[in-house]
Amino acid sequence: MAALKITRENFNKEVMESDVPVLLDFWAPWCGPCRMVGPIIDQLSEEVEGKAKIGKVNVDEQTELAAAFRVSSIPTLAVVKDGKVTAIQIGARSKNDMKNMLGL
């Protein structure tokens, strides 16, 4: 399963009400490091299916979500578990780092 496109409209259902941890990738198409992380995010979304969700938030389109997470630099990765932010990392990360953030 590919990473979910997270928007203001589906944020509560897909992230806040999720029964599994959610890794959010805050990105933009013009961001070089974000494009490097993109394939890793897609691989990870398949590997963790059923154990976690992976979502992508385009900061240019979802300015309110970016502001709510205080995103000042991208890529920014955030984990939400049980409706609470449990981890935030700024910058490109390895797949293992992302798994560790999710507790997997």
Of 34, 44, 52, 57, catalytic: 34
Q: What letter does residue 91 receive in the DSSP assignment?
A: S
- 34 is annotated as an active-site residue: yes
Of 23, 31, 101, 102, catalytic: 31
**How far apart are alpha carbons 51 and 70 in whole angstroms?**
26
Q: Is the pTM of this model over 0.85?
A: yes
Distance set, CA 7 to CA 4, 47, 56, 64, 86 (Å): 9, 23, 9, 9, 20
- pLDDT, tens only, 57-98: 999 999 999 999 999 999 999 999 999 999 999 999 999 999
